[in-house]
Amino acid sequence: MKIKSLLLGSAAAMLAVSGASAADAIVAAEPEPVEYVRVCDAFGAGYFYIPGTETCLKISGFVRMDINFNSNNDSYTTNVRGRVNFQAKEDTEYGVLHAYVRIQGDTSTADLNNAATYDLPTFVDQAYAELGGLIFGYTETTWVSSKNGGASGFGSHSDNGLNYGYSQANQIGYNLTGSNWFAAISANDDGDGATYMPDITGRVGGVFAGATIYGAGGYDQSAENFGLKLGLNMDVGPAGNVIVQGFYADGPTRYGANASPTGIAGGGTYTPEWSVIASYQHQFAPNFKGSVGGQYSSDYYFNALAGTAPIASANSGIDSWAIEGVLVWNPVANLEVRGEVRYTDFSSGLADTGAYVGGDATTGLFRLQRNF
């Protein structure tokens, strides 16, 4: 009995040791926790949290192709653009900390004929940051737009907006926002480099019952001239929108309704003393809209901006007018089909100087654009 008990006890001990060893062999380490991408709904649609941070990121952009026609040379050109926008936002004790970077590239008919630029050239088109009202970086000047409310000043309802003095610059500024008003000011590097003085641009306005009324001004320190703009953007009924803008400049300046007239050798960009833009857009259906617009400009200053010999007087007698029509169709979400036609005429003037003989042009645009 003693021998039998001893044998049974030894066998039980061996099984226990063997079982423990087997159990130890199959124990696996706990997997590291995985943090999945989370939707961030604090700043609107499309944002998600960057893993491991409280920063919300949004990625957007488009791919488009333009076919352009110009009656001056009875020819067409093509242009393809790709754009990607990155926006990063997070709440802080001083307000929303925001960064925006726009990367885009273009290739045109001219690029395709030049081996050095055959590949799609890309560049940073905008890069700026905001904290509360502070803004710094490279983006549109406040002559064109401000980031703190109200309609912008991008001209008419067409793609290029007619002639309203679009400009971007390295800048630092501040935005103020009230319940139904906004104001902004910025100091802009004009690229001159000859003096320490920046250009100064500003904007003030308000939003009242669907209408945005605003004024903007800019001082061009290189030219020592200024420009002023008054604007109205107003909804009309359930489907219409009206834009009206008036401009004044006391001399050649980038802050004016600048245009590139036909009939001038070497081309160039010139500032009118006075100009007005009017445009009406109608939403015929949820996926179809159209607009008509026009612009009249008077007494162009023919000097500084184009580097030509100064005429030195606003009373040049050279005026211009333009009319345009636009149709936009969205056959499916995020796809745009756009057609535009524009006629521009510059009056003759100063013929005795041989400086300008006038001219007109009809231009057209057909576009396919996929947004994301």
pLDDT at 7: 43
The DSSP H or E segment spanning 21 is helix 2-25
Residue 315: is its pLDDT beyond 90?
no
Q: What is the pLDDT of residue 31?
A: 65
Percent of the chain past pLDDT 90, that is, above it, reads: 63
pLDDT at 318: 82
Dump pLDDT digits (tens) for 334-366.
999 999 999 999 887 654 445 556 788 899 999
> What digits encode the pLDDT tens for the residues 264-313?
555 678 899 999 999 999 999 999 999 999 999 998 886 544 444 444 44
Q: What is the pLDDT of residue 310?
A: 43
> What are 167-186's pLDDT values in tens digits?
999 999 999 999 999 999 99
pLDDT at 59 over 90: yes
What does the DSSP 8-state code read for residue 270?
Answer: B
Domain boundaries, the chain: 34-61+80-132, 140-319
Query: Can you list the positions of beta strands (E) in the chain?
Result: 48-49, 56-70, 75-92, 95-108, 122-131, 134-140, 168-177, 181-189, 199-208, 211-220, 225-236, 240-249, 271-285, 288-301, 320-329, 335-346, 359-371
Q: How confident is the model at residue 145 (pLDDT cuts 50, 70, 90)?
A: very high
